[in-house]
C-alpha cells in the first residue's frame, strides 16, 4: 500500500485506459502498477473505465467480423476497405456512406469525443450522422489531426455541438443510426485513371477528451511558446524610431515616400474633420443582422471608415504635430471604447481586421499624445479584449488560412497593447504549430512558396501575405523573429505569388485545405492570375531586402508597378506602405 501511495501522484498526472478488471488487478499488484505508470503506452490523467456507457472501440486491426456496413466493405490489411459508388456521372461525384449495423450508445459526460481514423477522399462532404441528426446539423465540421501516412484522425466533441438542431441529450443516448456520410467526393485525374475510388478505415473510438485521445494515441502536443522579454511601446506596426523615420521622409520630401504621403493626406479618412460614422454596440460583417438599427453590411462599411479614420489621424498627428488630428483620433477611439462590446453575425472572426487597426491607432496615441488620459487608454484596452477576444482567441482553424492569420495579427496587436503575455504566447504557439490552415507550415506549403489559397484565388493569397507580414512586423518589434520562420517562408510566398501574377510559370502540386472541408478551390490547379496587386508588398520588401539584404526580384517588379502603394481594400491592411514601411529612401 505504501508503494501505491507513492505512485498515485504520478499516476494521476498520466492518462491510462483500463477495463474495470484490469484496474482491480493493478490495485492489488504494486509491481504491475509501477510498470503501467512507467510505460509509454499507459498514459491518462485518470483511470478510464471502459465499461462505462458511451465507450466505443471498434478497431479493425483486431476485428475478425464486420460490425459496419460499408459499400463493398471488407477487411483488408487490418482495415475496413470500401469502394464508393458513382453518385453523379457528370462531375463526376462519388459516394460511400458507412454505418454501424446495430447502432450504439453515446454518453457525452463519459466519452464526448467521437473519433475515426481513416484515409478518406479529401474533397468531399463528410459528416458524422445519427438518427437524431448530423453533428451541428451540417457537414465538414470535423477537426483533424494529421498523420504521416495520410490516414488521418477526424473527431467531433459532443460537449460543444449538437445532433441535428438540438444539443446532445444528457445521460445514455441509444442511437439506432450511427454513421459517417461521405458524399460528392471529387477525385483527381490520377485517381480516376487508376480506378482508385475507395477508402479505408482503421478504427472508430470515443474518448474522455481531446487530451485523453492524444495521450492514448501517443500524439504529442505542440510546445508552448514562452515570451520572456519586456514589452516595448510603441511596439505594434510602428516603433518610435519608425514614426520618426516616417516623419523625416515627409519633411525631407523623399520622392516615393512623399508621393505616398500626398495620397494619405488626401484620403478623407485622414482629415481632422472626418465625420465619425459609429460607434456601434457590436462589430459585424453580416448583412442579415441589424446593429443599432443599421443593417450589418452597412455597419461593416462604416466601421471600416472609422477605424482607418482613427489610425490615419494618429499617423497624421505624428507627422504634422497638428493636435487637431490627435483629437480626432482619440475621439474615435473613445467612442468605440465606451460602446462596443462584441461581435455578432457570420464571418465573425474577420472582424479582427478592425481590432487590429484600432489597436495600432491606440498604440500610437497612447505613447505619443499626452493629452489622452491613461484612464481612457486603459478603457480602450478593456474594450479591445472584451469585444474581440471571445471571438478570436481560438483562431479559426477550420477556415481558409487568411482567417487564422487575421485572428493572429489582431490578437497579437491587442495583446501587446494590453501587455497580455499569455495571449502573445498563444499567438506565437499557433503561428508555429496550430492545427489549421493559417499556421506557417500549413499556409506556405512548398519550398517554392505555394500557398494554401494559391488554388483558391490570388486576392486572398495577397491578403494573407500582407496580414502575415503585419503580424511579423509586430513580433519583430517585440524581439520575436517570426519573419525568419521556416526558412523565410513568407518571403518565399511573396516571390511565388508575385512571379505567378507577373505572368511566369510556377511549380504547383495538388493541395487540399488542412481540415479537408472546402470545395471552393481547385486542388490540382493554381487559380487564375490577377494583376490587381494589393498594397501589401512594401512591408515585406523592406524587411527581407532592405533590412536583411535578401533578394526578392519578383516583388521588386510588383513594386515598380505599385509605388507609391495606395489605400487598402476595405480595412484589410494598413495601406500606404511606401511611406509607412519605407527604409530604402
CATH number at residue 477: 1.50.10.100
Q: Quote the CA–CA distance of 16 and 481 in Å, as a whole number.
A: 39
Q: Do 37 and 135 lie in a common domain? A: no
- Taking each helix axis from N to C end, the angle separating 240-251 and 255-266, rounded to the nearest 10 degrees, works out to 100
Q: Do 23 and 61 lie in a common domain? A: no
CB 391 within 8 A of CB 351: yes
Residue 51 lies in a domain: no
Residue 235 lies in a domain: no
Residue 228 lies in a domain: no
Q: Quote the CA–CA distance of 420 and 434 in Å, as a whole number.
A: 20
Neighbours of 60 (CB within 10 A): 22
* Per-residue pLDDT tens digits for 292-316: 999 999 999 999 999 999 999 999 9
Q: Do 42 and 102 lie in a common domain? A: no
Q: Quote the CA–CA distance of 52 and 130 in Å, as a whole number.
A: 21
Residue ranges of the chain with per-residue pLDDT less than 70: 1-47
Q: Which residue has the cell 450522422?
A: 129
Neighbours of 43 (CB within 10 A): 19
Q: Decide: residue 297, CB within 10 A, 0-12 exposed, 13-18 middle, 19+ buried.
A: middle
pLDDT value for 47: 62
CB 43 within 8 A of CB 14: yes
Q: What is the pTM of this model?
A: 0.89
Residue 260 lies in a domain: yes
Q: Do 32 and 108 lie in a common domain? A: no
Q: Do 385 and 466 lie in a common domain? A: yes
The backbone torsions φ and ψ at residue 32, rounded to the nearest 5 degrees and listed phi first, read -65, -40
Q: Do 246 and 146 lie in a common domain? A: no
Domain with 517, as residue range(s), is 240-580
Q: Do 206 and 343 lie in a common domain? A: no
Q: 291-296 long-range contacts, Cβ below 8 Å, gap at least 24?
A: 291/344, 296/344, 296/345
β-pairing, 113-119 vs 125-130, is unpaired
DSSP codes of every residue in 155-174: EEETTS-EETTEEPPSS-EE
Residue 442 lies in a domain: yes
Strands (E), 198-261: 198-207
Q: Do 19 and 86 lie in a common domain? A: no
Q: Which residue has the cell 497580455?
A: 420
3-state secondary structure 56-67: CEEECCCCCCCC
CA-nearest of 417, 559, 546, 400 to 483 is 546
Q: Quote the CA–CA distance of 584 and 255 in Å, as a whole number.
A: 11
* Per-residue pLDDT tens digits for 525-535: 999 999 999 99
- Taking each helix axis from N to C end, the angle separating 352-368 and 374-392, rounded to the nearest 10 degrees, works out to 160
Q: Decide: residue 409, CB within 10 A, 0-12 exposed, 13-18 middle, 19+ buried.
A: buried
Neighbours of 407 (CB within 10 A): 33
Residue 306 lies in a domain: yes
Q: Do 124 and 83 lie in a common domain? A: yes
pLDDT value for 11: 45
Q: Quote the CA–CA distance of 382 and 359 in Å, as a whole number.
A: 11
Cell of 150: 495520410
Give the chain's radius of gyration (CA, Å): 27
CA-nearest of 320, 328, 265 to 567 is 265
pLDDT value for 48: 73
Q: Quote the CA–CA distance of 216 and 48 in Å, as a whole number.
A: 11
Domain boundary among 201, 216, 231: 216
Residue 221 lies in a domain: no
Cell of 582: 519605407
Q: Do 137 and 170 lie in a common domain? A: yes
CB 352 within 8 A of CB 409: yes
Number of domains in the chain: 3
Q: Do 365 and 392 lie in a common domain? A: yes
Q: Do 372 and 469 lie in a common domain? A: yes
DSSP 348: G
Residue 295 lies in a domain: yes
Geometric angle at alpha carbon 26, from 24 and 29, rounded to 5°: 115
Q: Quote the CA–CA distance of 434 and 427 in Å, as a whole number.
A: 9
Q: Quote the CA–CA distance of 247 and 254 in Å, as a whole number.
A: 11
Amino acid at each position: 500500500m505504501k508503494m501505491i501511495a507513492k505512485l498515485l501522484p504520478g499516476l494521476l498526472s498520466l492518462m491510462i485506459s483500463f477495463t474495470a478488471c484490469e484496474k482491480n488487478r493493478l490495485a492489488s499488484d504494486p509491481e504491475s502498477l509501477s510498470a503501467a505508470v512507467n510505460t509509454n503506452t499507459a498514459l491518462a490523467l485518470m483511470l478510464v473505465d471502459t465499461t462505462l456507457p458511451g465507450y466505443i472501440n471498434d478497431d479493425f486491426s483486431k476485428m475478425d467480423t464486420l460490425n459496419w456496413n460499408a459499400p463493398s466493405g471488407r477487411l483488408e490489411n487490418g482495415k475496413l476497405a470500401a469502394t464508393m459508388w458513382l453518385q453523379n456521372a457528370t462531375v463526376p461525384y462519388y459516394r460511400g456512406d458507412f454505418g454501424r449495423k446495430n447502432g450504439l450508445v453515446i454518453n457525452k459526460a463519459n466519452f464526448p469525443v467521437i473519433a475515426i481514423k481513416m484515409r478518406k477522399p479529401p474533397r468531399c462532404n463528410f459528416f458524422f450522422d445519427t438518427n437524431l441528426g448530423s453533428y451541428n446539423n451540417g457537414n465538414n465540421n470535423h477537426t483533424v489531426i494529421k498523420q504521416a501516412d495520410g490516414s488521418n484522425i477526424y473527431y467531433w466533441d459532443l460537449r460543444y455541438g449538437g445532433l441535428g438542431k438540438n444539443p446532445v441529450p444528457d445521460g445514455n443516448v441509444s442511437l439506432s443510426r450511427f454513421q459517417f456520410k461521405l458524399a460528392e467526393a471529387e477525385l483527381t485525374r490520377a485517381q480516376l485513371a487508376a480506378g482508385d475510388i475507395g477508402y479505408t478505415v482503421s478504427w472508430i473510438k470515443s474518448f474522455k477528451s481531446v487530451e485523453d485521445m492524444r495521450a492514448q494515441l501517443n500524439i504529442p502536443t505542440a510546445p508552448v511558446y514562452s515570451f520572456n522579454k519586456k514589452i516595448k511601446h510603441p511596439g505594434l506596426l510602428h516603433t518610435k524610431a519608425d514614426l520618426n523615420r516616417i516623419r523625416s521622409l515627409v519633411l525631407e520630401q523623399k520622392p516615393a515616400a512623399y508621393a505616398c504621403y500626398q495620397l494619405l493626406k488626401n484620403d478623407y479618412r485622414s482629415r481632422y474633420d472626418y465625420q465619425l460614422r459609429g460607434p456601434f454596440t457590436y462589430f459585424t460583417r453580416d448583412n442579415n443582422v441589424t446593429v443599432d438599427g443599421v443593417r450589418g453590411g452597412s455597419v461593416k462599411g462604416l466601421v471600416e471608415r472609422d477605424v482607418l479614420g482613427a489610425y490615419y489621424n494618429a499617423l497624421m498627428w505624428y507627422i504634422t504635430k497638428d493636435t487637431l488630428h490627435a483629437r480626432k483620433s482619440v475621439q474615435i477611439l473613445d467612442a468605440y471604447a465606451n460602446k462596443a462590446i462584441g461581435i455578432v453575425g457570420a464571418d465573425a472572426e474577420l472582424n479582427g481586421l478592425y481590432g487590429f487597426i484600432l489597436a495600432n491607432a491606440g498604440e500610437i496615441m497612447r505613447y505619443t499624445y499626452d493629452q489622452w488620459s491613461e484612464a481612457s487608454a486603459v478603457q480602450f484596452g478593456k474594450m479591445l479584449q472584451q469585444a474581440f477576444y471571445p471571438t478570436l482567441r481560438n483562431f479559426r482553424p477550420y477556415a481558409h488560412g487568411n482567417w487564422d492569420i487575421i485572428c493572429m495579427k489582431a490578437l497579437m496587436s491587442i495583446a501587446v497593447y494590453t501587455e497580455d503575455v499569455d495571449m502573445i504566447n498563444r499567438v506565437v504557439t499557433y503561428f508555429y504549430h496550430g492545427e489549421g490552415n493559417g499556421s506557417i507550415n500549413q499556409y506556405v506549403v512548398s519550398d517554392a512558396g505555394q500557398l494554401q489559397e494559391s488554388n483558391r484565388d490570388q486576392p486572398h493569397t495577397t491578403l494573407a501575405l500582407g496580414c502575415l507580414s503585419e503580424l511579423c512586423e509586430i513580433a519583430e518589434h517585440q524581439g520575436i523573429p517570426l519573419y525568419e520562420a521556416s526558412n523565410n517562408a513568407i518571403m518565399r510566398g511573396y516571390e511565388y505569388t508575385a512571379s505567378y501574377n507577373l505572368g511566369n510559370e510556377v511549380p504547383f502540386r495538388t493541395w487540399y485545405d488542412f481540415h479537408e472541408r472546402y470545395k471552393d478551390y481547385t486542388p490540382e490547379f493554381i487559380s487564375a492570375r490577377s494583376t490587381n496587386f494589393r498594397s501589401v508588398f512594401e512591408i515585406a520588401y523592406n524587411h527581407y531586402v532592405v533590412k536583411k539584404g535578401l533578394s526578392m526580384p519578383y516583388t521588386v517588379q510588383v513594386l515598380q508597378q505599385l509605388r507609391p502603394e495606395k489605400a487598402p481594400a476595405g480595412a484589410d491592411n494598413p495601406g500606404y506602405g511606401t511611406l509607412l514601411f519605407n527604409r530604402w529612401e
